[in-house]
Amino acid sequence: MAVKNPHFPNATVLGYPRIGRRRELKRAVESFWAGRTTADDLEATTHDLRLATVRHLADLGLGADGAAVPGSFSSYDQVLDAVALLGAVPERFAGLTTPEGRLPLDAYFTVARGAGDAAPLEMTKWFDTNYHYLVPEIGPDTPIGFVDDRVVREFTEAAHPADGGPAVVTRPVLVGPVTFLLLSKPADGAPEGFRPLDRLDDVVAAYAGVLRALAAAGAPWVQLDEPALVTDLLGVPFDEVADAVRRAYTRLATDLSPAPAADGATERPAILVTAPYGDLRSEAGDGLALLAGTDVEAVAIDLVRGAVPTGPVPGLETKTLVAGVIDGHNIWRADLGARLAVLEGLTAPGTGPGAGALAVGTSTSLLHVPHDVADEPRLDAGLASWLAFADQKVAEVATLATALTDGRAAVADQLAASTAAVRTRAAAPGVVVPAVRARAAALSAADVERAPYAERAEAQQAALGLPPLPTTTIGSFPQTAEIRTTRAAWVRGELSDADYTAAMRAEIASTVALQEELGLDVLVHGEPERNDMVQYFAEQLDGFATTVHGWVQSYGSRCVRPPILWGDVSRPAPLTVEWTAYAASLTDKPVKGMLTGPVTILAWSFVRDDLPLGDTADQVALALRDEVTDLEAAGIGVVQVDEPALRELLPLRTAAHPAYLDWSVRSFRLATAGAAPATQVHTHLCYSEFGQVIGAIDGLDADVTSVEAARSRMEIVPELADAGYARGIGPGVYDIHSPRVPSVQEVTDLVELAAKSIDPRLVWVNPDCGLKTRAWPETKQSLANLVTAANTVRATL
Ligand code: GLN
Ligand code: ZN
């Protein structure tokens, strides 16, 4: 089948959830891993899921034959798919590939999840989303070629379906070659100075092979995602990125012919390059001009996060501009009238960017939002009417496209409904709560200041009487199957409140007894009552709603249901006091109260789009501040406020960092500064590559900061000391991600190392993170070794 160089469809979405409306993919993949089903079973399930998805998208208004439906499926991760396509498998997995370099299905998952001594690819955050991708490892000798034509087969399976059902011409979606390499890290053993980008020509040659194969299969369009163009955080200067983009797209777009030859065949599909998650233009350089200067046929820009371009952009006049006016990253229904005005501005003669054609799109893939609002019968009807999940967003895109081609009158009803929803939302009770606004408005600088640290440290020592090198944990203890079953029964109404409380109390009592027996110095209640460190708080605070089916892929088969933060936040009743006070009643040792910080609560929720993030953070912080006061009143002298997401929320553009760090640090201080000097405030951050946030960590002004440090062998301690940090520091002494029990010697060495690089009086001894994913046997043994090691080093001080 041969195609003529086609026009881009007038409406599209950049990608769609892959997990399935009822998490069918999760279930199928996990039963394959468990050995309950075969690779063929899994292939059959994903085949059905893909066909159902593309047909559903066609029916929702994208149409079946214009390449408006993205072919954006992945069985695990789109970056891993690119690794598989290229056969770019690290040395340690080389034995798993076929002679041609292909990864069979089980090996594909092994690269993602590791096996025995072979560690999986590292996982890290995908731009500023809560999706996590696998980091490719590329060295000078890593094999790179076009070895796996899965993307071609998936195009064909939808375009010529074997089941005799409706055909859909999709637009295959691939991670772009430049982004692929910018997200890669050098393979182990790569020579000093080698950068994955050095392999650009090889990757581009392989992609040229993919494009030829897609053209031969009849694909009119292909989508190459290049979000690396919207971030400053990858550490490569703009000029080098620009050079790579020019080289890559000269080879792919200029050297390969999109025009039909005499026999009607083309060398490649038309190319759409997307730049989701932010602004292509920054102080560093103009990524929009860069893409406009290539020979690709279409460019998609994010007009939710990015600025609307004004003035002509040379080169764009020959291309389609896919205007990402519908937010793919958040769940609010769009103000269609306002979005239409943006679109009209783009086509205004003289003032617009001068695109050859305009199409309506989403700002990002819809991967980051749940499937369907209609699937949430328990959501308040008012709130539901303000929301748009993936399916509603497809309809919004289609409506805007109709308005552009046929005029506003053609979609008058939809526009009116959208305007009405925006109005009711703004006026709905709970969206603006005057008392909450008044309290935030009355805050002053004094509200974020505590007494000087020296004074606090003295008062805390007098109150707590801790030994040197105090031992503690990060908060959670094993969330056993039994705890989860008990909670599930309670949620279903099969267990009474009283029985549930009794079960959780029993768990707390045994956890406290164990900590006493182990000889830990600062105890915790163990968090058995928490389903999740954010959802637990969201369920109790006013201003949040939670969903039943609102699952979003976090990584691989892991999904989360982010709460929806829709209104002004306040705390109708204490959140944690009862459990913590119960634990404290069982022991003479200090018990640490555990709270999740404002930044982390926002980072792992869908946030409102009608209030600046910093203002919302202040509201959450005030609710937590009241909780701290109540904990103190209940006799709790140590409170930890976890902020594992502090670094996660760092904006992609460095120019936005100061403002972000300002409000995020302020909100933490607002949450904690109401504590008396004698109350010891802890914080916990889940990582140790502090880089750009090291100053902010000091700025939090916590009395004790615990961080992950075991894998980097305490590297963080001297770094923090150099940055001027001079309060308590708990560098993790063992990694909690595996069941491995650290030896006494190993922990002793690490504690000694820490005590050498900073004043030993500041050092705390604790694991890297919470223990909820661990089982009891290794937890007990590991903590026993931790306490022995702390005692050993203490004796030498
Ligand atoms: N207190 C939480 C726990 O122990 C912290 C988890 C986290 O840092 N992500 O589980
Ligand atoms: Zn952690």
* Ligand 2 geometric centre to CA of 774 (Å): 13
Tokens, residue 658 = 């100061």
pLDDT for the residue numbered 1: 34
* Ligand 1 geometric centre to CA of 769 (Å): 6
Count of C-beta atoms within a 10 Å radius of residue 427: 9
- What is the sign of the dihedral through the CA atoms of 451, 452, 457 and 462? negative
Per-residue pLDDT of 390-399, as tens digits, reads 999 999 999 9
Tell me, yes or no, if 737 is annotated catalytic. Answer: yes
Q: How confident is the model at residue 688 (pLDDT cuts 50, 70, 90)?
A: low
Residue 715 pLDDT exceeds 50:
yes
DSSP conformation letters of 109-122? HHHHH-BTTBPPPP
- In 3-state terms, what secondary structure has residue 132? strand
The span from the CA of 765 to the CA of 522, in Å, is 10
The span from the CA of 429 to the CA of 9, in Å, is 41
- In 3-state terms, what secondary structure has residue 773? coil
Which one-letter DSSP state was computed for residue 58?
Answer: I
Which one-letter DSSP state was computed for residue 552?
Answer: E
Per-residue pLDDT of 452-471, as tens digits, reads 999 999 999 999 999 999 99
Per-residue pLDDT of 581-620, as tens digits, reads 999 999 999 999 999 999 999 999 999 999 999 999 999 9
* Ligand 1 geometric centre to CA of 468 (Å): 24
For ligand 1, atom 1, the nearest C-alpha belongs to: 475
The span from the CA of 702 to the CA of 669, in Å, is 8
* Ligand 1 geometric centre to CA of 497 (Å): 25
CB contact set of 736 (below 8 Å; sequence gap of 6+): 767, 768, 769, 770, 771, 773, 774
The enclosing H or E element of 299 equals strand 298-302
Q: What angle do CA 438, 442, 446 make, to 5 degrees?
A: 150
CB contact at 8 A, 389 and 331: yes
Residue 336 pLDDT exceeds 50:
yes
List the catalytic residue out of 7, 657, 682, 737: 737
Give the rounded distance of the alpha carbon of 283 from its chain centre. Answer: 26
Cβ burial, residue 163 (10 Å; 0-12/13-18/19+): exposed
Cβ burial, residue 590 (10 Å; 0-12/13-18/19+): buried
Residue with tokens 């306490």: 787
Tokens, residue 19 = 């997990």
Share of the chain above pLDDT 90, in %: 92
Greatest CA separation for the chain: 89
* Ligand 1 geometric centre to CA of 735 (Å): 13
The enclosing H or E element of 683 equals strand 680-685
CB contact at 8 A, 705 and 661: no
For ligand 1, atom 5, the nearest C-alpha belongs to: 770
Closest of 83, 17, 22, 26 to residue 50, by C-alpha = 17
Q: What angle do CA 536, 541, 543 make, to 5 degrees?
A: 125
Residue 252 pLDDT exceeds 70:
yes
Mutational pocket test of ligand 1: of 473, 476, 530, 604, the residue with most ligand atoms within 8 Å of the beta carbon: 476
Per-residue pLDDT of 205-236, as tens digits, reads 999 999 999 999 999 999 999 999 999 999 89
For ligand 1, atom 6, the nearest C-alpha belongs to: 770
Count of C-beta atoms within a 10 Å radius of residue 678: 17
Starting from the CA of residue 770, give the closest ligand: 1
* Ligand 2 geometric centre to CA of 276 (Å): 29
Residue 794 pLDDT exceeds 90:
yes
Starting from the CA of residue 576, give the closest ligand: 1
Per-residue pLDDT of 622-639, as tens digits, reads 999 999 999 999 999 999
Count of C-beta atoms within a 10 Å radius of residue 96: 17
Top-confidence residue, 51 or 648: 51
Which residue intervals of 585-685 are DSSP H helices? Answer: 598-603, 613-633, 657-672
Atom of ligand 1 nearest to the CA of 644: 8
Count of C-beta atoms within a 10 Å radius of residue 189: 10
Per-residue pLDDT of 340-389, as tens digits, reads 999 999 988 888 899 999 999 999 999 999 999 999 999 999 999 999 99
The span from the CA of 303 to the CA of 285, in Å, is 18
Given phi > 0 = left and psi -120 to 50 = alpha, else beta, which region is 116?
A: left
Atom of ligand 1 nearest to the CA of 770: 4
Which one-letter DSSP state was computed for residue 595?
Answer: E
Starting from the CA of residue 534, give the closest ligand: 1
DSSP conformation letters of 716-764? HHHHHHHTT--SEEEEBSS-TTSSPPPPHHHHHHHHHHHHHHS-GGGB-
Q: How confident is the model at residue 2 (pLDDT cuts 50, 70, 90)?
A: very low
For ligand 1, atom 3, the nearest C-alpha belongs to: 770
The span from the CA of 100 to the CA of 36, in Å, is 29
Cβ burial, residue 28 (10 Å; 0-12/13-18/19+): buried
Starting from the CA of residue 645, give the closest ligand: 1
**How distant, in Å, are the alpha carbons of 308, 475, 757 from that of 407?**
21, 58, 69
Atom of ligand 1 nearest to the CA of 772: 10
The enclosing H or E element of 470 equals none
Ligand 1 pocket by Cβ (under 6 Å): 474-476, 533, 594, 642, 644, 684, 686, 769-770, 772
pTM for this prediction: 0.95
Residue-averaged pLDDT of the chain: 96
Mutational pocket test of ligand 1: of 511, 642, 771, 774, the residue with most ligand atoms within 8 Å of the beta carbon: 642
What are 763's strand-pairing partners? 729
Residue 3 pLDDT exceeds 50:
no
Which residue intervals of 68-199 are DSSP H helices? Answer: 78-86, 105-113, 150-159, 177-182
E-strand spans in 443-534?
A: none
